[in-house]
Structure 1
């Protein structure tokens, strides 16, 4: 088990270690200084004392003083420093001429130190008491009296003894010694600090940075940090960073799942389905085999939503998913590509085998009742089949063929299976006619913006307008519901969005409605196309500075579900230039609450299916109340749709809804 320390403990340990180190160094250095005093300083002091004693004796001898007078000089020298004792011993050469003095002979013979000094070596010894023996070497001037000697002989030894306590150390030596000790001690301290900080802090941080760089370069959110450290704070950085990576990885996986899968059923969405279809076409070309795709549309599903509510409709979609999945192979790919539309890829499956699979799906769905509240419902579906390569050699042709087959099954009475062939020109012609109508309407500038007012529930004043697309057809105007599906399938939706956005903003400028917010519905392709950005930027440049930027883009659940990651990035980018966002038809599915969590929108438009019946339906009232409360806690304003009478408006006031729109306030009209 690893044991960790904290930075406080590390600092304390470092200080204590440094203190102990300094004490140890001081002790060792003290011993060194003492020894040096004995070996060097004592020798110097003793030599000086011996030299002084010798010079005093020599001066007296030159004057012809007697032995008694010389002894008196030594006595007086000893009295100068009571704790110091000076003795003088004659050598045999001197004794030969002048005789021994006292017990000199016995000392020469019995004291090895004296004997050693008599041979011409100065001797330093002692621990508590210093003893220095200084040999007196015969010089030329000594020969006048010492006729039996020659230069270099030893005339005698001066013996100096004094305690270590009396040792005198020079100030220079002490200062130099202190400087050396301080420098050495400082080096030791910094060396310890450098080693500790480098090992326990710098190296883990470098390792930490290196691992972060590796995670970024490899985009590997599964990798985790592991630092070699004993410091608790550094270990905490590791733990919390890994927890953050866990959260990011979980968040990333959820976003990835949202971008690839339908949140409600867990099936692949349209974008991912088309990716699989592209891959299957390439695989079939390479291996030269057939495969089949199915388009499935639930029959009369709107009746379930209207009768039992959207929540029950969501439960039905989940049950249908289970029924279909249980009758398909593991290799088959099942996707939800729309509200009540499903699609299936049957790899390496011919039309004949694919038809058998579809019949199994149809029969299983028809024979499996689904429980709803206190009732049971039986569902059927219309199935369209397209075979590769007979119905198309690319994904566009296959999708068109399977769509045509599904519409053909619908027209045949529903709960049937159909295959697109050459006889389906009538349906293809109808779609083509609608497409041509849209193309002409765009070319002839017959796409017009209508607006429906949005009122403040609290003040009763107009807050803004929702801008809606209409197509002028003679004396009448076609609502978006009559053409938008075909426009999306044929690729006209982006162009229509661009026209409505441009004309709507132009009307806001011409009528100086700068204090009114304009709400626009843009398709996903328009959002990701990015052409609308320059239009809004140009509009904002004309807006007076006294007003806030007033363009809001509404996002539908069916639009958001296909690319959650990309849409989040767009919202974040566009909010920086003053574009706000609203979640439209909120509450129509369980996934709405997920988008409320992930999308940084400013408004929530409560689905009109809940609003229009709140006067008579307590459950709808509860839904609206809680949607408003949740939105408020997320810091978002609420807008109620389908407000068609005063009673509904009063209930919305009681709930606290911020804004409302509907026939009670006004129908869509031209500005």
Structure 2
């Protein structure tokens, strides 16, 4: 197991290492200084002493002194410095001319250093005691007396000996040596610090930054940091960063799974299904083969949620997923697009084979009972099938084609299989075109509120306004009836409702029309999914003189109310508590109209204009309007007649006793800037 050090330990080690290094350098430098003193200072001092001894002996020899006189001079020189000893040895040349001295001959023949000096070599030797041998070289003056010698010969050797402690180093030498040592020591210390910190700190950090940049640039959350370091803190950074990467990778994978998978069933979601579909289209183009996609919608699934609850509904969806999954190939792609809607991609499967797969799924689903609480239910589904490239050559057309086929199967009685034909494709293309028009209108803020006045029938006074949605297209405005069905099918209705409600309420505030009731058409999907209660409540709070007759009324269509009666009853009850009233719109257009009077606590009934506009010429319509008005008023509802287009119709409504009226007779819907 590799051991690590801390930065504190690193700094301590660096300081100690630097100190030891400096001491070692100082020690070695001291030895060097000592050696230099011996080599340089001793040589200089000894040379001077030897020269002085030679000059003294030479002066005596010029005066003709004998060997005893010369020995006496050497003795006196030795007495001058008791610790220094000076000796002079004759060479064979001098001995042959002036006589041999036995001591000189013995030393000359047995002392190696003297033997070397006799050959002309200047010698400095010794550690504790310095010995310097200075050879006396014959020059032109010496030949006068030493007639047997030649210039360059050695006449003798002066031997000087003295202890090392007698050497004296000059002050300048000491100062210069200290300066040189200090400079060198400083350079060494900084070099050690630089290389140690660079290797143990800077390089790991640079490596760390490089790895982080690589992870960011490649978005590679699987990569991990591995630093070459012995520093504990750096290793802790590495470990902590890798743990953070582990958490990020785990979070990233979960997000990836959530972005690709349906949280309930674990199936692929719409986005991922469309990715597979796009890939299969490219593969089919490359290999020239067909494939099939299926759109599946469970029949009467809403009944299960309403009867057994949403938890049981979720259980059913999981069971259906299991049934479908066990009856598909491994290569087939099963996805849940939302709610009770599924989709299947059958790669390299033409329509005939795809139909066989669909029939297998349909029959297995129908034949498999699903246990639910203390009951067992059987479930069916409607299947739409589309083949590439017959029903479409891109994602949009294939999805739309299979979706239309699925709706065709539902209209055919459910638990059936349908295929989109050419007319369905043309209708789908038209829906796509209108959908794109709606999308651009919303994005470009071209949804505008128009208002149509509503009047008291008996007095002819203004009662309020119905706010209607229009799309601005250049200089013209398109009525809601031309796009409302497409908006509902493509999921734009709620957004349009929000825009009209927001702009309508703002218009009411800007105009100061607090004494007029405003009617808004909101889809049930908007009521279940929007924040309209808070929007209207805040509008009420800005009303300086609110009253029961000057509030906001939401109109409900009968064809929408039938889908969720219980839920809508709860919403009406809760919203009425804050002063929002409701109206049943297009009353009389469906068979359930009078049933809704019993269950829905609405304040107004708007009589369908198809009955109203012909009451002056059609007795049956007049009878319908009369009885609708009578029943509504007996239930405590106020009535509003639509499509009032002439004075004669208005007079009949007065006779019948209808409360309010609106239509072209009073004025067309208009934009109020």
* TM-score normalised per structure 1: 0.61
Q: Does 1:665 align with 2:578?
A: yes
Shift of the 155–249 alpha-carbon distance from structure 1 to 2, 3 Å rule, reads same
The structural deviation recorded for 1:211 is: 3.3
Q: Does 1:117 align with 2:124?
A: no
Q: Does 1:35 align with 2:19?
A: no
Q: How does 1:546-565 map to 2 (within 5 A)?
A: none
Measured in 2, the distance between the counterparts of 1:444 and 1:145 equals: 135
Please identify, of 145-154 and 295-304, the stretch whose mean Cα deviation from structure 2 is larger.
Answer: 145-154
The structural deviation recorded for 1:341 is: 1.2
- Relative contact order, CA 8 A, sep 6+: which one is greater? 1
Residue number in structure 2 paired with 1:292:
292
Q: 1:252 aligns to what SS in structure 2? A: helix
Measured in 1, the distance between the counterparts of 2:40 and 2:567 equals: 106
Residue number in structure 2 paired with 1:356:
356
Q: How does 1:72-471 map to 2 (within 5 A)?
A: 73-91=73-91, 103-138=103-138, 152=152, 154-421=154-421, 447=449, 471=468
Shift of the 158–375 alpha-carbon distance from structure 1 to 2, 3 Å rule, reads same
Q: How many residues align?
A: 504
- Is contact 2:294-2:383 (8 Å) kept? yes
Measured in 2, the distance between the counterparts of 1:24 and 1:265 equals: 76
The structural deviation recorded for 1:114 is: 3.5
Measured in 2, the distance between the counterparts of 1:423 and 1:147 equals: 145
1:527-552 per-residue CA deviation (whole Å, 9 max, x = no partner) reads: xxxxxxxxxxxxxxxxxxxxxxxxxx
Shift of the 664–42 alpha-carbon distance from structure 1 to 2, 3 Å rule, reads same
The structural deviation recorded for 1:171 is: 3.3
Instruction: Kindly report the root-mean-square deviation, in angstroms, between the aligned alpha carbons of the 2 structures.
Output: 4.9
Measured in 2, the distance between the counterparts of 1:492 and 1:377 equals: 35
Q: 2:338 aligns to what SS in structure 1? A: coil
Shift of the 664–498 alpha-carbon distance from structure 1 to 2, 3 Å rule, reads closer
Q: How does 1:47-58 map to 2 (within 5 A)?
A: 47-58=47-58
Measured in 1, the distance between the counterparts of 2:3 and 2:178 equals: 40
1:277-299 per-residue CA deviation (whole Å, 9 max, x = no partner) reads: 34444544555544333222222
Shift of the 133–271 alpha-carbon distance from structure 1 to 2, 3 Å rule, reads closer
Measured in 2, the distance between the counterparts of 1:7 and 1:422 equals: 77
1:380-402 per-residue CA deviation (whole Å, 9 max, x = no partner) reads: 32223334445445444433333
Shift of the 152–166 alpha-carbon distance from structure 1 to 2, 3 Å rule, reads same
Measured in 2, the distance between the counterparts of 1:119 and 1:66 equals: 26
Shift of the 484–174 alpha-carbon distance from structure 1 to 2, 3 Å rule, reads farther
Measured in 2, the distance between the counterparts of 1:426 and 1:56 equals: 137
Measured in 2, the distance between the counterparts of 1:250 and 1:280 equals: 30
The structural deviation recorded for 1:347 is: 3.0
Measured in 2, the distance between the counterparts of 1:303 and 1:314 equals: 13
- Is contact 1:125-1:132 (8 Å) kept? yes
- Is contact 1:447-1:496 (8 Å) kept? no
Q: 1:337 aligns to what SS in structure 2? A: strand
1:450-499 per-residue CA deviation (whole Å, 9 max, x = no partner) reads: xxxxxxxxxxxxxxxxxxx97569xxxxxx9xx98841645856983795
Shift of the 266–76 alpha-carbon distance from structure 1 to 2, 3 Å rule, reads same
- Is contact 1:269-1:336 (8 Å) kept? yes
Structure 1: give runs of 5+ residues left out of the alignment. Answer: 450-468, 474-479, 513-520, 522-608, 614-641, 646-661
- Is contact 2:299-2:414 (8 Å) kept? yes
Measured in 1, the distance between the counterparts of 2:387 and 2:70 equals: 139
* TM-score normalised per structure 2: 0.61
Residue number in structure 1 paired with 2:456:
none
1:110-134 per-residue CA deviation (whole Å, 9 max, x = no partner) reads: 4443444344433322232111122
Q: 2:399 aligns to what SS in structure 1? A: helix
Measured in 2, the distance between the counterparts of 1:494 and 1:385 equals: 29
Measured in 2, the distance between the counterparts of 1:119 and 1:396 equals: 113
Measured in 2, the distance between the counterparts of 1:119 and 1:283 equals: 103
The structural deviation recorded for 1:377 is: 4.0
The structural deviation recorded for 1:58 is: 4.6
- Is contact 1:224-1:242 (8 Å) kept? yes
Measured in 1, the distance between the counterparts of 2:149 and 2:348 equals: 129
